[in-house]
Amino acid sequence: MSGQQYRTQPVGLGILPALYQLSIRVPGQFFSELSTYTFPLTPSQLRADRSALSTFSDTQGPASSQGVTRVVDSYGLSPPVFTIEGTTGYDRHQSDGYVLTGLQSMLLLQQFLAQYATLNQNQRAAGNPQLYTLEFYDYYGNQFWQVEPVGPQTIRQANDRPTLIYYRFRWAAVKPAGVPILGEVDALANLLATPAQQAVVNAALTLGALVTAYSPTGPL
């Protein structure tokens, strides 16, 4: 399996690439990103479940409807609940400039979600009602949502492929994410023009912390 190269695959002409990101937004600053995580591999599964908030009741009706009238109360569709599954692989990835291994990418993903939770706990402890927000960007499906992790956020390994670590997350969408300043098309073009360079900068900043935290002697 030497020489394996992971990358985000473009799919056909005129179709957006299967690129997925998470971003933490600073409270009260609509266009301010604290940090962004780009999934180095396309997830193996992405599922969006939406509930139709409709109820009905049956009451007595005319003979033309066989004696029953069905009354429907319809409130529309709820925001989706996303289930996302996949792996970061084990090798380095073209999408981040071959800087991070699959294990390091997974550690960053876990660190990213833990950072989001810690930031908001600190906000609540300080009595600050403004909270950081988490946004999920699906450029292939053209879906951009503010989300909140719900239920188990699963990281697993299996003995048949011990070098791979898998994730399975559930995120409840809260509301559509704000429209980017550049507009979706220009923002995507700008993002895809420099993915490796930006990833190298982000990774370089984080790798020092990773090396320190996971060194044999522990944090310095």
Tell me the pLDDT of the chain (220 aa) as tens digits: 444 444 555 545 455 566 788 999 998 776 677 888 888 888 989 999 998 888 889 999 999 989 999 898 888 889 999 999 999 988 887 766 677 888 888 999 999 999 999 999 999 999 999 999 999 998 888 889 999 999 999 999 988 888 899 999 999 999 998 654 333 444 344 444 444 334 444 544 444 444 333 334 444 3
Asked if 188 and 179 count as a contact pair (C-beta separation under 8 A), the reply is no
For residue 103, the Cα-to-chain-centroid distance in whole angstroms is 18
Please tell me the predicted confidence (pLDDT) of residue 184: 42
Q: Where are the domains of the chain?
A: 20-213
pTM over 0.75: no
Q: 95 φ, ψ to 5°?
A: -65, -20
Please tell me the predicted confidence (pLDDT) of residue 74: 85
Please tell me the predicted confidence (pLDDT) of residue 31: 65
Cα(16)–Cα(205) distance, integer angstroms: 29
Please tell me the predicted confidence (pLDDT) of residue 33: 73
How many helices (H) and strands (E) would you count in the chain? 3, 10
Cα(144)–Cα(76) distance, integer angstroms: 19
- What residues have CB less than 8 Å from 170, skipping those under 6 apart? 81, 82, 83, 149, 150, 151, 152, 153
Please tell me the predicted confidence (pLDDT) of residue 41: 86
Please tell me the predicted confidence (pLDDT) of residue 215: 36
